[in-house]
Amino acid sequence: MLSKLMYTEWLKLKKSKVLQILFISPILSMIAAYFPFFDDPGNEWMNSFLSMIMVQAILFLPLLAGIFAAAVCRYEHEEGGWKQLLALPVNRLQVYSAKLIMICTFVALTQILLLIGLLLVGLVHGYSDPFPWHEVLLRLFMGWLGCLPIITLQLWVSTAWSSFAAPVALNVILTLPNILIANSATYGPWYPWAQPFLGMVMDQESGFTFSVDTLVFVIIGGFLIFTIGGMAYFHQKAV
């Protein structure tokens, strides 16, 4: 049943403009990578990749998480879609889980497109340094991992609010301070919207991205709290 619900979600998203939105961030990040504003003599690939991180992780990853969350609920909010869906013999928790998995998948696709963009920029520039697969893949995964609390919170809000614009506007308001908060050693590790960026910025000495406290309390804890809260709300949601 869950796989069928996920396929249904895919069909609905396929008809929307979400697939086009997927390419916006990677394309803009490729432009930043082509004209890198870092000059680290260590590896020329990393100069371009760090430039991409500044575009992708600070702004677009948290924004896209909110847009995807609002998009998977938009169809049901229109013309009594929730009544039609939940009148069918479906499990509410599976419906919610299908939407959550689809959002996570689309955010992961954005990161994969970022990797492809980096490879294309390197081919155009003719980079001769070995490609740092481990470091790049780790940063991409940690950026995705840092989005999980945002995804779960935004899905909860998007199921509760019938307006498409309201959850997106809330996400924009909470994302914009990232430029300042992400650089704060005091507030950055505890601010959910800063985690995609912090996850993609590796400590060269320790080799870690998130601190243990951030990983446990903000990433895992936030994901569990917002997921359980969202599912509990959706399970009791009146249609």
SS3 content of the chain, % helix, strand, coil (to 5): 75, 0, 25
DSSP letters, 199-216, are: HHS--TTT--SS-HHIII
Q: Is the pLDDT of residue 88 over 90?
A: no
User: Nearest to residue 142, comparing CAs of 35, 55, 214, 231?
Assistant: 214
Amino acid identity at 209 = T
Q: Per the structure block, which two tokens stand in for 69?
A: 């969350």
Q: Is the pLDDT of residue 154 over 80?
A: yes
Mean pLDDT of the chain: 88
Spans of all domains in the chain: 2-236
Q: What digits encode the pLDDT tens for the residues 35-67?
A: 887 777 678 899 899 999 988 998 899 999 999
User: Nearest to residue 207, comparing CAs of 132, 149, 148, 150?
Assistant: 132
Which 3 state secondary structure label does DSSP give 87? coil
Say how far apart CA 182 and CA 31 lie, in whole Å.
Answer: 23
What pTM does this model have?
0.92
Q: What digits encode the pLDDT tens for the residues 177-225?
A: 988 898 888 888 999 999 999 999 866 444 457 888 899 999 999 999 9
Q: Is the pLDDT of residue 236 over 80?
A: yes
Q: Per the structure block, which two tokens stand in for 206?
A: 């320790």
Say how far apart CA 170 and CA 98 lie, in whole Å.
Answer: 23
